[in-house]
């Protein structure tokens, strides 16, 4: 038994030291510090059991039980930090520790009972391991699900073993020799479980970190929507799909009107607020299958799968109208005038897939030309190439000019 405890002490101490080195050298890896603390608590528990002869068997065992349970509670805190929970306070774990402390004091105070001690510790450990395991099983992120379920499975096995051990001890189902073997098995399971949990949690941490870096590389940091690179990748996929199926799709190019004036009059902070407000309205306006991306500066783009030109007009006009309804309370302008309300409008250009000879570059160019002409015609409107006559352009009014009409308008 002592050899098992010595081995566990070495493994848990070295594991704790290694995890803390990783924590200090890579502070962005969440949960590692608390996992190191859990390993340290487990190591202290093993040390107390080894030294129980000098500290007194009952006192040493009671303290070791507290640190064993504390290791499971600290592991749960590591999971909470990894999941970016609102609070890291383990209320259920603190309750279990309180119960363990009360039972331990009662045993030390003159009511020694190995059966009660083992039963209490086993059931409390099973309860804490079960809470953490079921939290991991509820993980919804597909990228983290595999390591989360692996760690949850290790904890679930720990829960089942301690539950069976606690019930068997409470109802005198174990003979003395079997109870001794069960205790040795419990130590071995704790050590191997600690290694499995450490591996699983480290796997979760690095996976989440990689996913976070990928997310940062694919999204705009201010508006939290896809950046230009990712948007173009989705457009290429949709183009390939349309060439195979013949189903059209459309692209919207969207530009905020007079955005430089907002920055110049009220500052870049107000400009950022206006950008985010406009993006929120745009996302509310597009369909669930559509994709919105930031093209650059105050310009955005939307990919509308399975959308003909007429359907794109409907979406674009809804988007334009929703953005036009934005009213932002502005700070005092830089020229000293009283606070004003900032209004936001957008101009939208549309391009739709035009058959097998069409390509993405041509569509983007047509959408950009439509946007340019919409802004030249007075802004706050939706246009698609070919352009309508300037005299007929009104906000909310949609008109599609045929190629012959466009040539006649240019000639005149």
Q: Report pLDDT digits (tens) over 76-119.
A: 999 999 888 889 999 999 999 999 999 999 988 877 788 899 99
Q: Report pLDDT digits (tens) over 188-244.
A: 888 899 999 989 988 888 887 776 656 667 888 899 899 999 899 999 999 999 999
Hey, which residues does 347 pair with through a beta bridge?
A: 255
Note whether 190 and 279 are same-domain residues.
no
Note whether 85 and 202 are same-domain residues.
yes
Domain boundary among the residues 218, 238, 268 is at 218
How far is the CA of 396 from the CAs of 61, 93, 166, 217, 317, in angstroms?
78, 59, 72, 36, 7
Confidence of residue 278 (pLDDT cuts 50, 70, 90): very high
Q: Which helix (H) or strand (E) holds 349?
A: strand 346-352
Note whether 149 and 22 are same-domain residues.
yes
* pLDDT at residue 54, as a whole number: 55
Note whether 335 and 267 are same-domain residues.
yes
> Which CATH number covers residue 305?
3.30.70.270
Q: Which residue has the higher pLDDT, 393 or 28?
A: 28
Q: What is the tally of structural domains in the chain? A: 2
Task: Answer whether residue 223 is part of any domain.
Answer: no
Note whether 68 and 44 are same-domain residues.
yes
Tokens, residue 69: 């349970």
Q: Report pLDDT digits (tens) over 41-88.
A: 999 999 998 887 555 567 888 899 999 999 999 999 999 998 888 899
Q: How far is 271 from 258, CA to CA, in rounded Å?
A: 11
Cα-Cα-Cα-Cα torsion 63, 66, 70, 72, nearest 10 degrees, comes to: 120
Strands (E), 240-326: 250-256, 291-296, 299-304
CA angle (239, 242, 246) in 5-degree steps:
150
Task: Answer whether residue 236 is part of any domain.
Answer: yes
Note whether 157 and 262 are same-domain residues.
no
Q: How far is 277 from 223, CA to CA, in rounded Å?
A: 9
Task: Answer whether residue 82 is part of any domain.
Answer: yes
> Which CATH number covers residue 22?
1.20.1070
Instruction: Give the domain extent around 358.
Output: 228-411
- Confirm if 346 and 257 have CB atoms less than 8 A apart: yes
Note whether 335 and 266 are same-domain residues.
yes
* pLDDT at residue 109, as a whole number: 84
Q: How far is 351 from 373, CA to CA, in rounded Å?
A: 13
* pLDDT at residue 56, as a whole number: 56
How far is the CA of 108 from the CAs of 51, 84, 103, 105, in angstroms?
17, 39, 9, 5
If we measure between CA atoms, which residue out of 63, 143, 145 comes closest to residue 103? 63
Domain boundary among the residues 218, 237, 254 is at 218
Note whether 389 and 324 are same-domain residues.
yes
Q: Taking the CA atoms of 364, 365, 369 and 370 in sequence, report the sign of the dihedral they define.
A: negative
Task: Answer whether residue 155 is part of any domain.
Answer: yes
Note whether 51 and 182 are same-domain residues.
yes
Note whether 276 and 403 are same-domain residues.
yes
Task: Answer whether residue 311 is part of any domain.
Answer: yes
Note whether 168 and 241 are same-domain residues.
no
Task: Answer whether residue 247 is part of any domain.
Answer: yes
| Max avg pLDDT among 7-11, 19-23, 95-99 | 95-99
Q: Report pLDDT digits (tens) over 297-339.
A: 999 999 999 999 999 999 999 999 999 999 988 776 555 564 5
Note whether 259 and 142 are same-domain residues.
no
Q: How far is 139 from 196, CA to CA, in rounded Å?
A: 18
What are the strands of the beta sheet with 382-384, ordered from one edge? 291-296, 299-304, 250-256, 346-352, 382-384
* pLDDT at residue 144, as a whole number: 86
Tokens, residue 395: 């906000």
Query: pTM for the complete prediction?
Result: 0.62
Domain boundary among the residues 218, 239, 260 is at 218
Tokens, residue 41: 């608590």
């Amino acid at each position: 038994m002592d050899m098992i405890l010595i081995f566990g002490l070495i493994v848990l101490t070295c594991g704790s030291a290694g995890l803390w080195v990783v924590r200090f050298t890579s502070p962005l890896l969440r949960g590692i510090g608390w996992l190191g603390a859990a390993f340290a608590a487990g190591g202290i528990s093993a040390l107390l059991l080894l030294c129980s002869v000098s500290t007194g068997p009952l006192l040493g065992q009671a303290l070791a039980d507290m640190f064993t349970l504390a290791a499971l509670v600290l592991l749960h805190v590591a999971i909470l930090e990894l999941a970016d929970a609102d609070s890291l306070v383990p209320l259920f774990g603190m309750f279990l520790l309180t119960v363990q402390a009360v039972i331990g004091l009662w045993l030390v105070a003159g009511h020694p009972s190995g059966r009660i001690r083992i039963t209490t510790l086993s059931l409390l450990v099973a309860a804490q391991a079960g809470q953490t395991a079921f939290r991991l099983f509820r993980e919804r992120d597909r990228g983290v699900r595999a390591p989360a379920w692996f760690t949850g499975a290790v904890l679930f096995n720990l829960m089942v073993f301690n539950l069976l051990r606690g019930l068997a001890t409470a109802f005198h189902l174990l003979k003395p020799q079997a109870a001794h073997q069960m205790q040795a098995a419990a130590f071995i399971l704790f050590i191997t479980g600690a290694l499995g949990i450490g591996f699983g949690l480290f796997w979760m941490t690095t996976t989440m970190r990689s996913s976070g870096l990928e997310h940062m590389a694919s999204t705009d940091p201010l508006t939290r929507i896809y950046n230009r690179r990712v948007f173009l990748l989705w457009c290429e996929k949709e183009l390939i799909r349309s060439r195979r199926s013949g189903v059209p799709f459309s692209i919207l190019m969207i530009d905020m009107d007079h955005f430089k004036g907002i920055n110049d009059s009220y500052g870049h902070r107000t400009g950022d607020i206006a950008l985010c407000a406009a993006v929120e309205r745009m996302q509310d306006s597009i369909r669930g299958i559509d994709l919105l991306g930031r093209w650059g500066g105050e310009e955005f783009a939307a990919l509308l799968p399975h959308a003909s030109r007429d359907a794109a007009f409907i979406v674009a006009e809804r988007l334009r109208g929703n953005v036009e309804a934005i009213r932002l309370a502005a700070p005092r302008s830089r020229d000293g005038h009283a606070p004003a309300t900032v209004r936001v409008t957008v101009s939208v250009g549309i391009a739709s897939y035009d058959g097998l000879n069409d390509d993405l570059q041509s569509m983007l160019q047509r959408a950009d030309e439509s946007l340019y002409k919409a802004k030249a015609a007075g802004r706050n409107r939706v246009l698609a190439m070919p352009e309508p006559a300037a005299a007929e352009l009104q906000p909310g009014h949609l008109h599609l000019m045929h190629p012959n009409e466009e040539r006649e308008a240019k000639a005149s």
